[in-house]
Copies of this chain bind each other. A is one copy, B any other.
Amino acid sequence: MLPRAEKKLQTRHTLLQSTLDLMDGGRGFCGLSLREVTRQAGVVPAAFYRHFEDMDQLGLALVQESTQSLLTAIRQVRHNELEVGGAIDASVRIFLDHVEANRQHFMFLAREQFGGSSLVRQAITNVYRQFSNDLMADLADMSRLKHLDREDLAILSDLLIKAVFSSLPDVLDHLESPATAPFDPQSALVHKLRFIMIGAKHWLGIRGGKDQRL
């Protein structure tokens, strides 16, 4: 690449990384100021506008960057699901390895999924929907779930995605101080996904059998 544009990309990356670093202090994205970010990046405030229109746009870029990581992880997981036996264990392992390798990005996603900026929130919501749709397609191919109709599968995949992502904070906290949670978040997550998948396997329709009246 040309050293001109390369340098620019490098600064842009520094701005994004500085934002993640500042958020490591436990603060949310909306609590950061433009000047703070540039200060952390070792750049003058005005330089910010060479890369982003405002903080919201930087947030969107951060969503995209994080999503890229996530997409990579998901594809590994989906590839792995084709193998036989212990798909959940292996998938969760791969997913969590990736979370560990991209801790800051996933912290950003976990913290801003319902957070301050509505633009960022909406972007993350769209990513969710996309992943949920992908997962639904995979689930539809599983032989032990053939008895589920489209709506069942949609709700099931949504539930699985929500279970994974709502466990993200536990996992991320556990990475930093491994004594916080009562259980190991990774095995707990596997446990939870098993509950769900077993339930899906024994699902008898919305009315349920008489033994399914809960």
List the interface of chain A (C-beta within 8 A of B).
Answer: 26-31, 85-88, 110-111, 113-118, 151-152, 154-156, 158-159, 162-163, 165-167, 169, 182-183, 188, 191-203, 206, 208, 212-214
Contacts and interface: CB of A to CB of B under 8 A. Distances in A.
Given A27-B30, A115-B114, A199-B199, A194 B167 contact: no
B116 A113 contact: no
15 contacts: A27-B118, A28-B115, A30-B31, A87-B214, A88-B214, A113-B114, A115-B116, A151-B183, A154-B182, A155-B183, A158-B192, A159-B192, A162-B162, A193-B214, A194-B199
Contacts of A117: 28, 31
Nearest to A118: B26
A167 B31 CA distance: 25
A130 to B, nearest CB: 13
Contacts of A196: 159, 195-196, 199
Q: How many copies does the complex hold?
A: 2
The 8 closest A-B pairs by CB, nearest first: A199-B199, A28-B116, A198-B199, A195-B199, A162-B166, A26-B118, A30-B31, A166-B166
Contacts of A213: 85-86
A205 to B, nearest CB: 10
A200 B30 CA distance: 39
Among A28, A118, A151, find the residue whose CB has the most chain B CB atoms closer than 10 A.
Answer: A28
A28 B31 CA distance: 9
A128 to B, nearest CB: 10
